[in-house]
Amino acid sequence: MYLSKLFLPITKNLPADAKIKSHQLMLRAGMIKQASAGIYSWLPLGLKVMKKIEQIVREEQNKIGAQELLMPTIQSSEIWKESGRYNDYGEEMLRIKDRQGREMLYGPTNEELITDIFRSSIKSYKSLPQMLYHIQWKFRDEIRPRFGVMRCREFFMKDAYSFDLDDTNAKISYNKMFFSYLKTFKRLGLQAIPMAAETGPIGGDLSHEFIILAETGESKIYTDKKIFDIKIEKYNFENTSLEKMVKDFSSVYAVTDDKFNKLEFDKKVSKENQVITKGIEVGHIFYFGDKYSKPLNCFIDSQEGKKNSVKMGSYGIGVSRLVGAIIEAKYEKEIMKWPKSISPYDVVIIPSISKNNKENLSKSLNIYNELKKQNIDVLLDDVDENMSQKFKKHDLIGIPYQIIVGSKSSESKIEFKEVNFESSFVDLKDVKSKLKN
Ligand code: ATP
Ligand code: MG
């Protein structure tokens, strides 16, 4: 892509409510545009990043055997009346009437709809376990939408649902998801901490929030710093290992505000190990047994011929919130550097161009075509600006690797730079391997 052609409405004008750096950066870099309160259009650069996050989330879900489907955004109120949540959900639910006067709603979550799909097709223990997920827009009429994509009204979420015959098997599904979440966040360049959480309106008895540390986070967290040393590489995908992993994490004190108890904290965690800080919730998993399957009559025939309500869990990841959360975690000293797994482009070529010297631009074009041939997603900054303006812009766009074409690069060696590191001179044919490392 040529930067001159990219739809990238970079702006300096920020609205007064853009208070945190991710919100500011996303607006300044032209990643999003507000459509109305808490509702955003995703512009090409922002969408590209979000799609990459979505794809990593998808791959990790598929790896643990979850299957993707797609449910609609608009739901009928009927199933919500069956579960009893139509009234309970309150004003956060956006309610709509169709032309026949039927009560519809824009889904804030999908427990009811997935249970309805499940109950009409699966009847026997032989078809269990099952894990289904989709990645779809949700709407919650948040009382105070703020912080850009972090707390908005319309947002993009991965929600998965597990179905098992009994508690023991349901815990296995829960543990797989737990593992999958840690791997997902790791691939996104984040260290997410699983924390025991209140189950809230979704209900149930087992729940963890996945939190990344950030000063601007809305969740206050209290933890033993030992939790940062637990490494998921130590565990494998065998049931006993997964069980041990969840146990290891759960045995370290790490809670959010709702579960915090000062006496307990002081008793369980030595003073020097106590960490009190803030974080952003990027994922949340629940096990809630038959909370929905029971009222919705979702039964399974057991091996003994008994009818059991299926045991369910639900598992969310805030895909659109993650774009902001990653910026909060990685944007430092006015420089954004995307983790390479989700960078909008693999590398940017920045030629020094002036009116009477177009030589660097033509050199850059050769490099550009060569990298394209190697299937590298490359951006060429062909805009007629001086180098300092260019670098400022790229501090905002955040591509982690740059090829600088100026007086220093020769025919055979090009100047290659990883953001925040010294540049080096490399052969064009070696660029690809540099991007991989
Ligand atoms: P929160 O406490 O932040 O309101 P929640 O507990 O209501 O989150 P869940 O219902 O568990 O959230 O949703 C799963 C994930 O969806 C959350 O972990 C979060 O990453 C994301 N999410 C929830 N609400 C929003 C929102 N208003 N805007 C953007 N992302 C959201
Ligand atoms: Mg909420």
Q: What confidence score (pLDDT) does residue 122 get?
A: 85
Look-up of token digits 């979000």: 50
Identify the helix (H) or strand (E) that includes residue 230.
none
DSSP string, 116-176: HHHHTT--BGGG--EEEEEEEEEE---SS-BTGGGB-SEEEEEEEEEEESSHHHHHHHHHH
The residue ranges of the chain whose pLDDT is under 50 are: none
CATH architecture assignment, domain 7-330:
2-Layer Sandwich (3.30)
Using a 6 Å cutoff on CB, does residue 282 contact ligand 1? yes
Q: What is the pLDDT of residue 73?
A: 98
What is the per-residue pLDDT across 7-51, written as a single tens digit (0 to 9) for each? 999 999 999 999 999 999 999 999 999 999 999 999 999 999 999
Nearest ligand atom owner, CA of 283: 1
SS3 content of the chain, % helix, strand, coil (to 5): 35, 30, 35
Alpha carbon distance 271, 289 (integer Å)? 37
pLDDT at residue 204, rounded to an integer: 53
Per domain, the residue ranges of the chain are 7-330, 347-436
What CA–CA distance (Å, rounded) separates 403 from 211? 35
CATH of 347-436, one of 3.10.105.10, 3.40.50.720, 3.30.70.920, 3.40.50.800: 3.40.50.800
For a pocket test of ligand 1, which of 220, 281, 314 has the largest count of ligand atoms closer than 8 A to its C-beta?
281
Ligand nearest to the CA of 145: 1
> Rounded CA gap, 210 and 280, in Å?
8
pTM: 0.96
User: How does pLDDT run across 192-215, given as a tens digit for each residue?
Assistant: 999 987 665 555 568 999 999 998
Cβ of 54 below 6 Å from ligand 1: no
Say which residues have a Cβ less than 8 Å from residue 251's Cβ, sequence separation at least 6: none
Structural tokens at position 419: 């953001």
Q: pLDDT at position 378, please?
A: 98
- Write down the pLDDT at residue 4: 97
Rg (CA), the chain: 24
Q: Find the farthest-apart pair of alpha carbons in the chain and give their distance in angstroms, rounded.
A: 85
Nearest to 155 by CA among 136, 168, 174, 170: 136
